[in-house]
Amino acid sequence: MSFWLLIIIGGICAGFIQGLSGFGFGLVSLAIWSWVLAPEIAVPVVVAGSLVGQLLATRSLRKNIDVHKATPFLIGGALGLPFGLWLLSLMSPLLFKFIVGLLLCFYCLTMLLSNKDRRWSWGGRFADGLMGWLGGVSSGFGGIPGALPTLWCNLRGWDKHQQRSVFLLFNLFMHTITFSSFVVLGLINKEVIKIIIIVVPSILIPTAIGIHLYSRFSDKAFRFVVLSLLFCSGLLLVFATVPKILLSW
């Protein structure tokens, strides 16, 4: 399969999932793009693509935006980003793929098995900020800020509109400052720009379709489909990288 076809397929799948669920662009796209893109190229492209998708979703949630609920996540994310950027400089391509796969498996399996009626009230807004910090760290080294905050919002027992509001504000904020940091650090080179030019048009229609279907799917249906797809992607990535890691040892 050609390089550009994989890039477009990754963008289409990631755009649709993000439009439908409000998260997951980095998780889905990296499951495909990490096979053909080095981390220093993949991460800026993921951030740019996810930012475009989040901007498209802004209009659909404008009446449900809750800045007060999202504030701890935003503060924590800003504090965690520098540490994540430092980790990015230490990552090898093989380890990067493996960690992305593990994150997909753990995150999605936990959400699939979690009790929807259980509400975690521990920690209050401080715990929300801590999850935001972890999201900031993962944003810096992997361009995927929404995984842990999304899981945490689900465990909090918030409805899908409240969760999606927090995802949108957090991801918009994190991707904006992350992409700005990449620009300052000189990580947005000609190769990255060329790939972004291909990715952005490929995600527009799938993202719009996902946003449209979001209001039509029941909580149970879209939650199961999205998490199942992400979990399968993670398994494939882990199974492909573990033999290479063991061989390198």
Q: What is the pLDDT of residues 201-217, one digit of tens each?
A: 999 999 999 988 887 87
Q: What is the pLDDT of residues 47-90, one digit of tens each?
A: 899 899 888 887 776 776 778 889 999 999 999 988 887 877 77
Instruction: Name the DSSP letter for residue 90.
Output: T
The pLDDT assigned to 142 comes to 65
The pLDDT assigned to 1 comes to 60
Question: What is d(CA 170, CA 176) in angstroms, rounded to the nearest whole number?
Answer: 10
Average pLDDT, the chain: 83
The pLDDT assigned to 87 comes to 79
Examine the pLDDT at 129 and tell me if it is beyond 70. yes
Least confident of 81-85, 127-131, 217-221: 217-221
Distance of CA 9 to the CA centre of its chain: 17
Nearest to 184 by CA among 81, 64, 34: 81
> Where along the chain do its domains lie?
3-248
Question: Which residues are CB-neighbours of 98 under 8 A, at least 6 positions away?
Answer: 237, 238, 241, 242, 245
- What's the average model confidence in pLDDT over 93-100? 72
Task: Tell me which of 6 and 244 has the higher pLDDT.
Answer: 6
Task: Tell me which of 196 and 177 has the higher pLDDT.
Answer: 196
Hey, how many other C-beta atoms are within 10 angstroms of the C-beta on 239?
Answer: 10
Examine the pLDDT at 5 and tell me if it is beyond 90. yes
Number of H helices, E strands in the chain: 10, 0
Nearest to 51 by CA among 203, 194, 154: 203
Q: Indicate the pTM of the whole model.
A: 0.77
The pLDDT assigned to 149 comes to 85
The pLDDT assigned to 115 comes to 58
- What's the average model confidence in pLDDT over 217-245? 77
Examine the pLDDT at 144 and tell me if it is beyond 80. no
Examine the pLDDT at 226 and tell me if it is beyond 70. no
